[in-house]
Amino acid sequence: MYSAVTAHPNLTALPGSNVLQQIVNGAEAWALSIALLGAFVGAALWAVASHTHNHQFAARGRMAALISAAAALVVGSAPGLVNFFEHLGTQAK
């Protein structure tokens, strides 16, 4: 059976698409910068709290560093994941 609905993503098809791309690029840069800052702060808190034998704050610092690393992983891999699933979706019949 022939499908009447099709879609062909084109980043330049609409006016303002270049501005949207700049916003996405800027948001990704900000998100990665914030994740890096979170990793620095978490690691510093972890180190200082461990040195002062404050186990509760050491655990919070460790968690902050790990969550920041996971956030950077998600932000960095998001375009690839979206493209992968978009390609997978085009294969559906």
Q: Which two tokens stand for residue 79?
A: 């375009």
Mean pLDDT (10-residue bins), the chain, 93 residues: 73 88 95 97 97 97 97 96 91 78
Residue 62 · residue 42 · CB < 8 Å: yes
The C-alpha atoms of residue 32 and residue 38 are separated, in whole angstroms, by: 10
Residue 2: predicted pLDDT: 64
Q: What is each CA distance from 88 to 2, 7, 22, 82, in whole angstroms?
A: 19, 14, 26, 10
Residue 13: predicted pLDDT: 86
Residue 79: predicted pLDDT: 94
Residue 91: predicted pLDDT: 86
**Sequence-ordered alpha helix ranges (H) in the chain:** 17-51, 55-90
Residue closest to 67 by CA, chosen among 27, 26, 37:
37
Residue 1: predicted pLDDT: 57
Residue 5: predicted pLDDT: 75
Residue 69 · residue 52 · CB < 8 Å: no
Residue 37: predicted pLDDT: 98
